[in-house]
Amino acid sequence: MTKDNNMGWNFDNSYARLPSIFYSHQQLNPVQSPQLVVFNEAVANSLGLNSAALQRQEGVDMLGGNDIPSGALPLAQAYAGHQFGHFNMLGDGRALLLGEQITPSGRRYDIGLKGSGRTPFSRGGDGRAALGPMLREYIISEAMHALGIPTSRSLAVVTTGETIQRETELPGAILTRVASSHLRVGTFQFAAQWASKEELQILADYAIERHYPKIDMTQGNRYLQLLQAVLERQAKLIAKWQLVGFIHGVMNTDNMTISGETIDYGPCAFMDTYNPATVFSSIDRQGRYAYGNQPPIGGWNIARFAESLLPLIHDNEEEAVTLAQAVIEQYPRLYNANWLTGMRAKLGIFNEEQQDGKLIDELLTLMEQYEADYTNTFRAFTLNNCQGTPLFDSTAFKQWYEQWQARRQRQEESEAASQQLMHDNNPAIIPRNHRVEEALEAAVTQGDYQVMDKLLQALSQPYAYTAEQEEYTKLPAPTDCPYQTFCGT
């Protein structure tokens, strides 16, 4: 059953026009009693949707997967992926792509339901999601957007009126996710493994047309250009993660997008104490996706993407490998250039000097040694208030500080401009783990969304440095139990 009721839906379904091997048409899995608990009016407005209509019951029925919006064509996408290094056949096991909303400005966004029930790719799972993880994705994805990091966004969270069984019974929920697309590295791995070369080429041409239209389809090796473009976006994205202390938690190839957006917020979290070995995910027992490992894992994932494109890059496999390898080898340099530029900005440095990397590395070494808070250290630099912590009180830091000040004086820009640069690149607040848990606890166990609303409001302008944000800069109380996150599947 499809409905519209003047809600502003303007669907196209270009993904459904790809060869059928890439998806499975899917019937809805209705839920008992969908109730809207969080709604993102800013996202709705940007999509050209009627916020008021969507928040009425007819709209909530669509967001809960009980009704199909007019023009939508629900499907589950097929993809594969390396999960913690092991290759598996995967696919949308608890998600539906409703279609692509064309905005008033002509932009195209996937509209998907997460937690919408079983599909042919569910692999024995129930296809549902719990309220807590869906609210976590809403909070973190909106925080990432505010930080200026490419990301999927969240339109709404709907409770289902049903419980799901995990370790215990939990309230069920469905998240409506908005993304530039859901094309993944794992989508191409699936095509390389199970589709024909012609189908792989159709997928690659589709990705170029959708995300990299500046690639000339008639000039040069367009698939090598696609590899280069995706590599550049991933190098830039992961540098942005590192610069704010974000830990994705599960950088499997099926969680890495071709568009260069952050997606699939499962066991993600932000680092408090600076330590490259930081891991929050309960399932990452070997630290594969630790904070310090994210940059090289990004390169590893790009190499897997390159492997999937080899049949298109050149008919001769040896030549294809040589060409792809020349592109892949650029990743460390491009990542480091993005990261170094970002770190200079965090330290109020505009120009480049050869010893900048050494200066930054020395600071990070001291931060790790003195167990300094990552965000608050750079916040203190921005506020010119470097005192009152073991790091700031140390002799080693005071020596480093003198080098830093001398470095800033060797640039043409004024002290005021340098401080503004830091202000623009050092967030005053991040979604600290204890604050996120506080919001989730209130919402899930008490039905109180005021804590979450207040947190979201503070996170919406992370570079504002307002008095209202002050309480969110405070560190959690010491505990003997390390913080852990869970994937929510």
* DSSP-assigned letter for residue 431: -
Other Cβ atoms less than 10 A from the Cβ of 363: the count is 24
Residues 452 and 135 sit within 8 Å (Cβ to Cβ): yes
Helix (H, G, I), strand (E, B) or coil at 461: coil
Residues 98 and 63 sit within 8 Å (Cβ to Cβ): no
Residues 51 and 45 sit within 8 Å (Cβ to Cβ): yes
Helix spans in 245-355 (H)? 294-313, 317-328, 331-346
How many CA within 13 A on the CB side of residue 146? 24
Question: Whole-angstrom distance between the N-terminal and C-terminal Cα of the chain?
Answer: 29
Among residues 23, 25, 117, the alpha carbon closest in space to that of 65 is found at 117
Among residues 33, 252, 255, 316, the alpha carbon closest in space to that of 161 is found at 33
Other Cβ atoms less than 10 A from the Cβ of 20: the count is 12
Q: Measuring CA to CA, how many Å separate 427 from each of 97, 302, 380?
A: 33, 29, 11
- Rounded Cα distance between 44 and 239, Å, is 29
Catalytically annotated residue among 67, 92, 254, 264: 254
Catalytic residue list contains 254: yes
- Please name the amino acid found at residue 94: R
Give strand pairing partners of 129: 173
Helix spans in 394-449 (H)? 395-409, 415-425, 433-446
- Rounded Cα distance between 36 and 53, Å, is 12
Residues 184 and 168 sit within 8 Å (Cβ to Cβ): no
Helix (H) or strand (E) holding 242: helix 222-244
Which residue in this structure is represented by tokens 């019974």? Answer: 169
Among residues 126, 124, 112, 119, the alpha carbon closest in space to that of 172 is found at 126
Among residues 7, 54, 2, the alpha carbon closest in space to that of 28 is found at 2
- Rounded Cα distance between 357 and 463, Å, is 25
Residues designated catalytic: 254
